[in-house]
Amino acid sequence: MAASNIKQKKEFTVEEMFAAFFRYLVIEKNASPHTLSNYKRDLLQFYAFLKKTFGKDKVPPFGDLSHVIIRQYMGNLQEKGLAKSSIARKLAALRSFYRYLVREELVEQNVPSLVSTPKQNKKLPQFLYYNEIEQLLDQPDGSLTGLRDKAILEVLYGGGIRVAELVGMNINSVNFSVGYIRVLGKGNKERIIPLGQPALKALRQYLEARRVASKKTDNEAPLFLNLRGGRLTDRSIRNILNKYVEAAALTHHISPHTLRHSFATHLLENGADLRSVQELLGHVNMSTTQIYTHITKSRMKSVYNQTHPRA
């Protein structure tokens, strides 16, 4: 049953409404599997709360729920110790669901939009100092796997890209003649990012070794392959990074996103303007990029406190 046909029925179940909404996310919003999984989990959790609150067979229609019950749900999540960021995400999922219901004329008002988003604790992104980056990049060996891993680390740091963007790249995503890579970011938005010579050199060495080993090297082939010749996954990249973090004896918790944070922080520390960094990172809003200015100010204050005789 298509999402647009749901109104043809006089009555429909919660399961049918959820299913129609999920199809809408996939077909019209082009939601990723990760986003879809989160929305499903969040909406099912909300419905479980309603059944527990009202009784399994006594849950009111979504259109009859007030903002008070949404606030109670938010309070319930807080009592369970959920982080404010997770609560905010679950509220956003409810708002999206209700927005769809309003569009389909299944409810009259987007009730969750009447509830304020929990105020977030400002947490500065973790980053690595440049000497730590060098230490990490020095770990892979000269084997085919080592050359691949070296190229992965160089591109993550040299391009500041997201891990999902990295695993989605093909060989033709790299333009060696002009030193750029092409990635597909959030919302299927393409952006072009310059790469430095170390990253380009690492990519050339990896692809040459791959060609010699008779692995896939046609332009449409994935840029980074696993041992079975398939495309690497997000989890594989995290496992690869963890391996070299341990080898480099770096003590902090480091994820692929840490390299993206390091990329942005080092650019700003060396004089890049905020607008350029925003474009390179693919941020829609400048406010998302501005968090990195807090990091550089925080580090500046730390240097002052440690070095000035009157600090």
Q: Which residues are catalytic?
A: 162, 186, 257, 260, 283, 292
Q: Distance (Å, rounded) from C-alpha 65 to C-alpha 98?
A: 11
Positive or negative torsion for Cα 133, 135, 139, 144: positive
- Looking up tokens 């968090």 gives 291
Label residue 190 exposed, middle or buried (CB < 10 Å: 0-12, 13-18, 19+): exposed
Measured distance CA(152)–CA(202) in Å, rounded: 9
What SS3 string covers 180-220? EEEEECHHHCEEEEECCHHHHHHHHHHHHHHHHCCCCCCCC
**Residue 225 bridge partners (DSSP):** 231
Local structure of residue 39 (DSSP, 8 states): H
